[in-house]
């Protein structure tokens, strides 16, 4: 994308109160190419992490005849998403600062059928010797007040360039199909500004109830799965 278009987009979509001063514009021009390179490194890091999960899924399907992963979704944070975060966190607009302070530029979301598999996969990933755990937030054991559940990991993974090995940060979100379904609906509500306040509050409360019901069902379904598996193991013996 052309730098002019990016600036125009920043003007349109970004908080209109941001001052696009000459200094800001100059820095954007200076930083543009290096930013593109950095984004490409994040895309490489996503490939590395996604492959690790695909390999684990393959191995589990051979060894235990089960696929713990339903889907993997990946994304690199958009340019205006990064700008918004720079502004919200009040961090300097430089490459070093963006890389240092924003942990979710590369995102990998792993959707599983059962909560148990989330922990199994996280453990398998974290024990790999090229993965460094930076931060872990367990919103399954400690859900957010909204009811949001997922296991979040910020990990560092090396990417191998022509003459360099470069560690990159990736945010991994692991959740069940049901948690994912809930989060996308709740996200819609969160960003619909036209809904009258009282009604939005009401819907948010109902969603929190749904999140609890979903967590119970996830657990029950997992228990049933385990009972079925025990039965098939006995038959195999
Ligand atoms: P951000 O600065 O927004 O990235 O938050 P954070 O650094 O405190 O990270 P946190 O681990 O709390 O959340 C990061 C991501 O998790 C968000 O960008 C969402 O994708 C997701 N998330 C967290 N809380 C909620 C929630 O209440 N509802 C939904 N739908 N998603 C959430
Ligand atoms: Mg985020």
pLDDT over 70 at 59, yes or no: yes
CA 138 remoteness from chain centre = 13
Neighbours of 217 (CB within 10 A): 12
Q: Residue holding tokens 């979903």?
A: 214
Give the global pTM: 0.86
ipTM of the complex, rounded to two decimals: 0.95
What separation in Å is there between the alpha carbon of 163 and the centre of ligand 2? 31
CA 83 remoteness from chain centre = 18
Q: How many Å apart are CA 113 and CA 221, to the nearest integer?
A: 9
Ligand 1 pocket test, candidate residues 139, 148, 210, most atoms within 8 A of CB? 148
Supply the pLDDT for residue 153. Answer: 98
**202: which 2 tokens?**
């009401």
* Rounded average pLDDT over 36-50: 96
Q: Which of 22-31, 65-74, 123-132 has the lowest mean pLDDT?
A: 22-31
pLDDT over 60 at 17, yes or no: no
The percentage of the chain sitting over the pLDDT mark of 70, rounded to a whole number, equals 86
Query: Whose CA is closest to atom 17 on ligand 1?
Result: 104
Supply the pLDDT for residue 11. Answer: 59
**Which residues does ligand 1 sit against, CB inside 6 Å?**
104, 137, 144, 146, 148, 152, 183, 186-187
What separation in Å is there between the alpha carbon of 172 and the centre of ligand 2? 11
Q: Which of 33-37, 86-90, 129-133, 199-203 has the lowest mean pLDDT?
A: 33-37
Choice between 203 and 34, residue whose per-residue pLDDT is larger = 203
What separation in Å is there between the alpha carbon of 235 and the centre of ligand 1? 44
Query: Whose CA is closest to atom 18 on ligand 1?
Result: 104
| β 106-112/69-76 pair status | antiparallel
Query: Whose CA is closest to atom 8 on ligand 1?
Result: 137
Each residue of 150-172: pLDDT tens digit?
Answer: 999 999 999 999 999 999 999 99
Supply the pLDDT for residue 144. Answer: 98
pLDDT over 60 at 218, yes or no: yes
Supply the pLDDT for residue 94. Answer: 86
What separation in Å is there between the alpha carbon of 104 and the centre of ligand 2? 5
Query: Whose CA is closest to atom 32 on ligand 1?
Result: 148
Q: Give the pLDDT band (50/70/90) at residue 22.
A: confident
Supply the pLDDT for residue 64. Answer: 81
């Amino acid at each position: 994308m052309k730098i002019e278009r990016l600036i125009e987009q920043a003007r349109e979509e970004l908080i209109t109160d941001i001052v696009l001063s000459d200094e800001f514009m100059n820095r954007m021009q200076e930083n543009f190419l290096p930013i593109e390179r950095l984004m490409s490194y994040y895309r490489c890091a996503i490939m590395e992490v996604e492959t690790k999960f695909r390999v684990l899924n393959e191995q589990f399907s051979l060894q235990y005849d089960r696929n713990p992963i339903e889907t993997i979704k990946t994304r690199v944070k958009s340019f205006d998403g990064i700008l918004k975060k720079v502004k919200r966190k009040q961090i300097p607009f430089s490459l070093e600062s963006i890389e240092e302070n924003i942990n979710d530029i590369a995102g990998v979301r792993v959707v599983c059928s059962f909560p148990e598999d989330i922990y199994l996969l996280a453990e398998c990933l974290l024990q790999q010797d090229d993965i460094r755990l930076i931060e872990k937030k367990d919103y399954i054991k400690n859900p957010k007040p909204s009811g949001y559940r997922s296991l979040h990991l910020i990990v560092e993974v090396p990417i191998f360039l022509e003459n360099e090995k470069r560690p990159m940060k990736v945010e991994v979100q692991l959740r069940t199909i049901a948690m994912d379904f809930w989060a996308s609906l709740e996200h819609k509500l969160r960003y619909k500004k036209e809904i009258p306040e009282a009604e939005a509050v009401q819907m948010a409360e109902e969603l929190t109830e749904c999140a609890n019901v979903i967590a119970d069902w996830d657990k029950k379904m997992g228990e049933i799965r385990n009972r079925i598996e025990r039965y098939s193991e006995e038959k195999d013996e």
